[in-house]
Amino acid sequence: MKVLRPNYHYRMLSLICVLLLSWCMSPAVPIVAATPSSISISVSPSTVTLGESVTVTGAIAPQVPGVEVTLKYTRPDGTPFTRKATTSMQSSYADAYTPDNVGAWSVVASWSGNDQFAGATSSSVSFTVVELPPGTSAITCMTDFSSSVVGSSIKIFGTISPAQAVPITIQLSQDGGASWNPLTTVVSASDGTFQYLWAPSSVGSYVLRATWLGDSSHQGATSSQVSVVVHSLHAPDFSVSANPSSRRIKPGETTTFTVTITSLYGFNSSVTLAVSGLPTNAGGSFNPPSVSGNGTSILTVSTSDSTPQGTSIVTISGTVGEQVRSVTVSLEVTTKESTPPSSVPFIGVPETLLAILLGLFVVARMRRRTKADGRS
């Protein structure tokens, strides 16, 4: 009796067709684009005398606390440089700067975005720096960091105008400017610039300024104050995270987020949790309401039948005294009744190719049946 060998080619083709059909009919995975954001900017005052400071302020919308904002300043000669600021819990930022050249300046703010929001760039704002009155002088004082750790170097630098090589005293205050002590004396370069590397040896909040006594042609001047906070090498801190980063529910449903408090550098205080930004007619509660050191809490978000449809950016924050750390999550409230899709999506496979594969499958089946009929 003759044993027929199975036709493996047709069997393999049948298997491929079945797998492709199964893949094509799987539901589409939606690609969620980052939510657009915007960043505002303003400068005050719009005109200053050389040696005076301007303050640049603005905010990111929607609110995104604790992110870095890049400020690109452009000097009158077209030379750009950047400074950094961090948004507050209200998503605002501020930067005080003392310009060192006469002329028209401009500044632009930007941020790079995150997982939920696209980055944004502000419009350009300008301000003008005018000359000093005759016989007067001005001096600036700045630092490259507004906060540091014990033992790390902080560069104190500035410019005296009119430019000249003169002794400049850098002064320090540890009581908010009520009393001052000399930190060091440096001699400015011929172009009026000066700098000094300072390595603070103790923790504290410091205020710095630069001053000179003047000469026969110019009155003396004292700069505006600049603040520096010096921390221990690893100050106790904590971070807040949430999982998952987004939820989707219908009106009247309840969902949860797992909130994790992570201790940093020996932190062991009790962190009080709070939630904001929930949609109308929705509420949130934590269990437990506070976490000590490392730990987790479950945030339960409850909606009602009247909770409106839409996506809300919810802020989960942890507070210990003046320390506030936060994380944002997305909560989407869909329609109460979801409508099934009207057609099956075919992802990545052209309809013509799909028809060819189905045809090959049918032909293969028919040929196998024909051969079987011929042997019977």
In the chain, the amino acid numbered 68 is: E
What confidence category does residue 343 fall into, taking pLDDT thresholds of 50, 70 and 90?
very low
Domain topology for 237-333: Immunoglobulin-like (2.60.40)
CATH code of the region 39-131? 2.60.40.10
- Greater confidence (9 vs 214) lies with 214
Whether the domain at 39-131 and the domain at 237-333 fall into the same CATH topology: yes
Mean pLDDT of the chain: 85
Given a contact cutoff of 8 angstroms between Cβ atoms, the answer to whether 291 and 273 are in contact is: yes
Give the mean model confidence (pLDDT) for residues 54-76: 93
Cα–Cα distance, 261 to 19 (Å, whole number): 45
- Greater confidence (92 vs 2) lies with 92
Q: Is the pLDDT of residue 82 over 70?
A: yes
Cα–Cα distance, 72 to 124 (Å, whole number): 9
pLDDT digits (tens, 9 = 90+) for 146-184: 878 888 899 999 999 888 999 999 999 999 999 999 999
- Greater confidence (195 vs 266) lies with 195
Nearest to 278 by CA among 304, 258, 297, 241: 304
Q: Where are the domains of the chain?
A: 39-131, 133-233, 237-333
- Greater confidence (352 vs 111) lies with 111
Class of domain 133-233: mainly beta
pLDDT digits (tens, 9 = 90+) for 260-274: 999 887 788 899 999
Given a contact cutoff of 8 angstroms between Cβ atoms, the answer to whether 264 and 240 are in contact is: no
Cα–Cα distance, 60 to 79 (Å, whole number): 26
pTM across the whole model: 0.47
Given a contact cutoff of 8 angstroms between Cβ atoms, the answer to whether 169 and 212 are in contact is: yes
248-280 residues labelled b (16+ CB within 10 A) or e (exposed): ebbbebeeebebebbbeeebeeebebebebbbe
Cα–Cα distance, 237 to 246 (Å, whole number): 26
Cα–Cα distance, 150 to 148 (Å, whole number): 7
Given a contact cutoff of 8 angstroms between Cβ atoms, the answer to whether 257 and 247 are in contact is: yes
The residues that bridge with 55 in the sheet, in sequence order, are 44, 96
pLDDT digits (tens, 9 = 90+) for 14-29: 666 666 666 656 555 5
Q: What does the pLDDT read at residue 347? A: 47
Sign of the four-CA dihedral 358, 362, 365, 371: negative
Nearest to 331 by CA among 244, 239, 240, 241: 244
Neighbours of 95 (CB within 10 A): 19
pLDDT digits (tens, 9 = 90+) for 308-332: 999 999 999 999 988 899 999 999 9
3-state class of 367 per DSSP?
helix
pLDDT digits (tens, 9 = 90+) for 103-146: 999 999 999 999 889 999 999 999 999 988 889 999 989 898 88
Q: What does the pLDDT read at residue 17? A: 63
Is the N-terminal amide bond of 99 cis, ω within 30° of 0? Answer: no
Give the mean model confidence (pLDDT) for residues 205-210: 94
